[in-house]
Amino acid sequence: MKIATYNVNSIRKRLPVVLDWLERHDPDVLCLQETKVQDSEFPLLELLATGRHVTFRGYKAYNGVATITRREPELVAHGLCEGPDNEDDRILLTVVDGIPIVNTYVPQGQRVGAEKYAFKLEWFRRVKRYFDERLDPNRPAVWLGDLNVAPEPIDVYHPERRVNEPDFHIDARNAYKDAVSWGFIDLFRARYPERVQYTYWDYFRNSYRDNRGWRIDHILATQPLAAKCIAVDVDTAPREAESASDHTVLWAEFEHPAKA
Amino acid sequence: MKIATYNVNSIRKRLPVVLDWLERHDPDVLCLQETKVQDSEFPLLELLATGRHVTFRGYKAYNGVATITRREPELVAHGLCEGPDNEDDRILLTVVDGIPIVNTYVPQGQRVGAEKYAFKLEWFRRVKRYFDERLDPNRPAVWLGDLNVAPEPIDVYHPERRVNEPDFHIDARNAYKDAVSWGFIDLFRARYPERVQYTYWDYFRNSYRDNRGWRIDHILATQPLAAKCIAVDVDTAPREAESASDHTVLWAEFEHPAKA
DNA sequence: GGCTCAATGG
DNA sequence: CCATTGAGCC
């Protein structure tokens, strides 16, 4: 089973890149973030034409998530389901082949100290409660997406200069790690403890050319599923495509995951 | 000698169309209107790369004219040169091979009765004085561009429904004709008295597909030059191009024009 | 409908 | 730098 995540920065602008990636890699699940489109404008027909199932929720301009699956999800749940502030354009649960897959776009946080930054820190607490209420760390489950945190210095270029950035500030890193500590394993870092590999590069100042990036997109799995992980990697091709997102695709492959 | 006019509706968006037209038709002069770009952002290098000369003046977002010539113009003059309101983003004179070519983008006029409409009517009076001061109706000269008037009912689809449009209202038609009466001949209509042929079609409601357009782009010449005109036509290919302007190209060819 | 700009977001 | 919206213009 192959699962991937990709912050598209507008699904309408990135549709060719997504269709190409689906055709070349044929994943079982592809999770998208920042679709930036309201549901009525979502390019559903073009994606259904690939023969896959598509689950999505978004609003005008901001956020938006979509999960594209080979098989029909056995269960779908939008948002945090806590109350009025449902955040259903940032979190989407699908259960595919018995495995819960939590596709999330964590708030970026604007800048350290801002109200939006406090919202980001709180968001990690909320998502941890979300895991508590519907998942079991002893059974297969996946949390993936643009989590907007570079967990360690190795995960960002010039870390010493980034300590006040909302994706590397110590409070965000700790909030992220506390959510992870619920029972998730970072598949990329588990497999490659020393590897410098980013998933996001700024559009400006030739960041990609000079490899000045961030590893802020992640695929995490509970222990029983992580044990079945046979491959995980970043595919930089989408970042080099004609009309590229500032993020690229991260993917992971599992052996007989449902039997875990 | 081949001369053409094209309202590009943004030279930056239309650069591929313009380069393609230059390569295919190799005109001596191509006059552009609505370049919609300030001079510092004008795509000069890309046009110079064709081996031609480029004269232009524009501001942010609105208006802007450019004249692309095979030979270097012997003289260039920007604007009406009357006083402070110079209108140099609407009128550009170049003298090429001894022939004055007045490239103009006449104000559209917004709607009949508006202040901008009065400005349009006045503009025709001003341009007639401009001809008086610098041209001679007995010597070759060209006035061309987006003149924003369909002179006769044949020049607009459903004319009876357009009598209150600023490009077909009787006051605009009369103001235009009064300027023309200075000493110009409409080359297209002179050659094709009965032909329905538009140069502009609205972007919306499938106007081009249904040929619901306007003949508002014109090439006019003084009598001695008009006598040398051996061909004039509208090329609809640019209107059918990938990323098309709402206008298309009108061109005219002259035999030994300088000897007139 | 397609261009422009100025905000806003990242 | 690359997205978005919403207004102005045509």
Kindly give the pairing relationship between strand A29-33 and strand A2-7: parallel
Name the protein residue, with chain letter, whose CA is nearest the C1' of C2. B203
A13 beta carbon to strand D: under 7 Å? yes
pLDDT of residue A256: 82
Residues 49-78 of B with CB under 7 A from strand D: 61-62
A103 beta carbon to strand D: under 7 Å? no
* A50-59: long-range pairs with CB below 8 Å, 24+: A50/A19, A50/A22, A50/A23, A52/A22, A55/A92, A55/A94, A56/A32, A56/A92, A57/A88, A57/A89, A57/A92, A58/A89, A59/A89
Residue B12 banded pLDDT, cuts 50, 70, 90:
very high
The answer on pLDDT for B234 being more than 60 is yes
Mean pLDDT of B192-214: 95
Strand C CB shell (< 7 Å): A 62, 107-108, 110, 116, 148, 202-204, 246; B 9-10, 12-13, 36-37, 60-61, 202-204, 243, 246
pLDDT of residue B257: 77
B10 beta carbon to strand D: under 7 Å? no
| Domain that includes residue A232, residue range | 2-254
B111 beta carbon to strand D: under 7 Å? no
Name the protein residue, with chain letter, whose CA is nearest the C1' of C6. B61
pLDDT of residue B255: 95
**pLDDT tens readout for residues B15-62:** 999 999 999 999 999 999 999 999 999 999 999 999 999 999 999 999
pTM of the model: 0.88
Distance between CA atoms of A208 and A199, rounded to whole angstroms?
A: 10
Structure tokens at B155: 């020049």
Quote the mean pLDDT of chain B: 96
A39 found inside a domain: yes
Residue B260 banded pLDDT, cuts 50, 70, 90:
low
Task: List all nucleotides in chain D with at least one atom under 7 A from a protein Cβ.
Answer: 1-6, 8-10
pLDDT of residue A259: 62
Nearest nucleotide to the CA of A62, by C1', is D4
DSSP string, B85-131: ---TTTEEEEEETTEEEEEEE----SSTTSHHHHHHHHHHHHHHHHH
Distance A62 CA to C6 C1' (A): 19
B260 found inside a domain: no
B203 found inside a domain: yes
B259 found inside a domain: no
**pLDDT tens readout for residues B141-178:** 999 999 999 999 999 999 999 999 999 999 999 999 99
> A131 Cβ partners below 8 Å, 6+ apart?
A102, A137, A141, A143, A179, A182, A183
The beta strand positions in B131-210, using DSSP E, are 142-146, 184-186, 200-201
Range from A44-48, A83-87, A98-102, B5-9 carrying the lowest mean pLDDT? A83-87
- Contact, B8 vs B33, CB < 8 A? yes
Distance B17 CA to C1 C1' (A): 19
Nearest nucleotide to the CA of B243, by C1', is C2
pLDDT of residue B118: 96
A9 beta carbon to strand D: under 7 Å? yes
What 3-state class would DSSP assign to B231?
A: strand
pLDDT of residue B259: 61
Pick from A30, A22, A56: nearest CA to A41: A56
- Contact, A226 vs A189, CB < 8 A? no
DSSP string, B205-228: TTTTTTT-EE--EEEEEEHHHHTT
* Cα separation of the two ends of chain B: 13
Distance B160 CA to D3 C1' (A): 44
Distance A249 CA to C9 C1' (A): 22
Phi, psi (rounded to 5 degrees) for A172: -70, -40
Share of chain B above pLDDT 90, in %: 95
Quote the mean pLDDT of chain A: 96
B231 found inside a domain: yes
Pick from A185, A176, A191: nearest CA to A226: A185
A240 beta carbon to strand D: under 7 Å? no
Burial of B209 (0-12, 13-18, 19+ CB in 10 A): exposed
A260 found inside a domain: no
Residues 198-217 of A with CB under 7 A from strand D: 202-204
Distance between CA atoms of A104 and A64, rounded to whole angstroms?
A: 9
Q: At what angle do helices A170-180 and A115-134 cross, to 10 degrees?
A: 10
Name the protein residue, with chain letter, whose CA is nearest the C1' of C8. A61
The answer on pLDDT for A258 being more than 90 is no
**Residue A183: how many CA atoms within 13 Å on its side-chain side?**
18
Distance between CA atoms of A122 and B75, rounded to whole angstroms?
A: 69
Distance B61 CA to C6 C1' (A): 12
Name the protein residue, with chain letter, whose CA is nearest the C1' of D4. A61
Task: List all nucleotides in chain C with at least one atom under 7 A from a protein Cβ.
Answer: 1-6, 9-10
Helix (H) or strand (E) holding B76: strand B75-78
A259 found inside a domain: no
Nearest nucleotide to the CA of B36, by C1', is C4
CATH number assigned to the domain comprising residue A64: 3.60.10.10
The total domain count for chain A is 1
Residue B225 banded pLDDT, cuts 50, 70, 90:
very high
Distance between CA atoms of B100 and B106, rounded to whole angstroms?
A: 18
pLDDT of residue B83: 83
A178 found inside a domain: yes
Distance between CA atoms of A169 and B207, rounded to whole angstroms?
A: 55
Q: At what angle do helices B170-180 and B115-134 cross, to 10 degrees?
A: 10
Mean pLDDT of A224-244: 97
**Residue B97: how many CA atoms within 13 Å on its side-chain side?**
18
pLDDT of residue A260: 54
Distance A207 CA to D5 C1' (A): 27
